Chains A and B, each alone.
Chain A
Amino acid sequence: MSKALKIVRIHNELLGTYGDQGNADVLAFRAKARNIDAQIVDISFLDVLPTDGDIYLMGGAEDAAQLLSLEALQRDNNLQAALDHGAVLLAICAGFQIIGNSFEASGKKVSGLGLLDVDSASGANIGKKRFVGDTKIKSGVVGCELTGFENHAGYTTLGSGVQPLGVVVVGHGNGDGKYDGAIKGNIFGTYLHGPVLARNPEFADLLLSMAIGEQVSQYDDNLATKYARMRRDAI
């Protein structure tokens, strides 16, 4: 790549409740390990979202923060424009809900960005408990098991235009206990915290490969591999 890989961390001051900012750090770390120059750009609620990013990241949040993030992203069409250029998006938990068709927060139903064909209801409104705990899914697209920690009250149903990120092995995933997350092309949504890319290096490499347009080179990080295995064995 001629220019540095630009990793855009969206609204971490709002979408940073569950440590998901670490996804950006892991991507930059694994990129640099391949001699790919990488740069993390933090975009706050007050900033204009750049359209020239390669990877965009969103994290989990409390309700009021989630609504503010949506408000900021609705000011322009920049995220959609970036995705149209081929950028990759990974959105976790509240972020996953924001990029869907609709979700519920602070007791009201709102329209999301509509980037993924999913709809999220608040589990509390349909008699479901909050879903909290270690989670393991089997992901066809990543090609392995993924682990993480879920902590949400969302109940997300997938429309016809998306595939699940994985099949739930342990935990509740999208709330139904069958699937977690959703994917469509270069857009990924999931409920897995951890951060998910720290616990699943294969997933980080998949996103990096998509962003640079070719398979990233082999990189053996013993600790990352051991850590991923430790969590998969433990859950």
Chain B
Amino acid sequence: MPATLLPLAVAAPLLLAAALAPLSPIAPRRLADACATLCALFVALLCGALAVETLHVPVHYWFGGWTPSHGVALGIEFAVDPIGAGLAAFVALLVALAFAFSWWYFDSAGTHFHVLMLIFLAAMAGFALTGDLFNLFVFFELMSVAAFALTGYKIEEEESIEGAINFAITNSLGAFLVLIGIGLLYGRTGALNLAQIGAGVAHARPDGLLVAAFVLLLTGFFVKGAVVPFHFWLDDAHAVAPTPLCVLFSGVMVQLALYAVARIFWEIFAAPFSSHEAPIRLLLVVMGTITALTGGIMAFNQHHIKRMLAFSTISHSGLFICAIATFSALGIAAGAVFVAAHGLLKAALFMGSGVLLQRTGSVDAVKLHGRCTHLTPLALLFVIGGFALAGLPPFGIAAGKTMLETAVRDAGLAWLAIVFAVASALDGAAVLRVAGSVFFGLGHMSDDRRSSTAGNEKKETSESRNDTLPTMILTAYAALVLCLAAGTVPQFAGWAERAGAIFLHGARAPFVPTLALHDALLNLAVALGAGLLALAALYLPRYKIFSAPAAALRALHSGAFPDYALWMIAGVAVYGAFLVPIAAFAARGNP
């Protein structure tokens, strides 16, 4: 049954958006909220049902009834596997949470917010479900345009629009890189269907075209996936976008781009590159580590709360790439669990910061130092969230990290566990230090006035509606509880493991690692370490040896998009340098 209704996962939100748009001046606010939330829940249920159904048999839906003839795919298909359906369901769940959070939001612009969010939902769901490369690109574009418009939503603040401009220009360049990559593959195979392209290049020698196509697709999607050096736009966009949108960006949009990379790699490039995996693994591991540590260090140095959370997301992007780099079903499964847990936790933290913004008019930890000691629910949220982010068991992040550590150990990359520990500790400490400063008045936040704005943001709802705050805080806690569920409900990890095996085309289902005591203790140790790091940041003086390189790193994040474009091209060159040797070795092997 869910298979026949599959197009509705995309068509229903689009239709609702088109219906709400002209009704903007006259539609009652509550009605729009209710319809939009119900639509998101419908998509979540549909895709959730699919995520379970596809464990047994994959779903291929051909639009227009154009089934392939003689091995040539004539139409577009949705090739649904459990990970894709799971991601689509997760997207819809987060959108529903975002709608619930913004129940009274944005009084000024009628239904425009709902229209754009619904289109964003449809685009992300379609992105996760599609099996056609150009269709993937088109959904990527739709996702981007909706995101650009929503980022600049607060048009009375110049930073919002500037952040949106940086976002728009960098992500458009990323999209063009992807399109050239797609063109190269189309020119070689004459097909746009992922499976057909895969079949077309499966026995090919990895030559310049395949390597170039892979580099372009990889770097183009890594722009959206916020991997170093393509990540600069993310912190700008998060710092200024409205809170429900940050929930979606950090929760799922970035991860979808990484999913696309994994999908394209395994459907198309894994076969021709099968004996040349070493350079690819090296690239992913190196860039993953750099991203994880850059994100962690920058997060640790921020006092703009939303920007700090954005850098934490960048850090986790690095960890997810390491999951892909294991090239194993367990790695993918770990990635799935980790993505879900991280998305929900980030959602909770962003919603918390949204409530903070509403209560106090600022998200600057320096300005708010010690001023929020009376906001106990928020304080609890941030403290629990900070420890959970560092890997406190039994939250989902700990489960994901444990699976990931097993996967890297199996792949011979055990030293990555140290990177994971350091990055998690930095991320958790960043949140805890802010929590300590704002909610408990501990220590002192270093006041580096040279950097960032002074958090001069306006409140996100027009009046100070104290009646909205309970729903906002409840939604935040709901997300936190779901993150806990992701870590404790064993069926979720079981589903993830089977889904990971199916993702890698029928590999044997990986061994289910039970959460051993030493793993739990390790995670606990890292969480405590994060707490100590936070206290150190608050009470110890800033040592020159740490602050100088951090300052240099911060100077790189200049906020001007021409710099970002430069780093993007430099990144493409570096990635190409890592991977071009594949073609050279292959050419030497078989002239």
The answer to whether A and B interact is no
